[in-house]
Amino acid sequence: MEKIKLNNDLECPIIGLGTFMLSPTDAENSVREALKMGVSFD
């Protein structure tokens, strides 16, 4: 997964995961699929 380096030297994956205005079910599905792809929400 491609990442960018932030000003505080942390790396952040380049991914757009918008959950604003989604129904709870759609938001859950989006997060589940992101986790399957290996996105970490640390």
pLDDT, one tens digit per residue, over 1-42 is 788 999 999 998 787 777 789 999 999 998 899 889 888 776
pTM, entire model: 0.57
Contact 30, 19 (CB under 8 A): yes
Query: 12: which residues sit within 8 A by CB, 6+ positions away?
Result: 3, 4, 5, 6
Quote the pLDDT of residue 42.
66
d(CA 12, CA 2): 9
**d(C-alpha 6, C-alpha 29), whole Å:** 28
Contact at 8 Å (CB) between 38 and 1?
yes
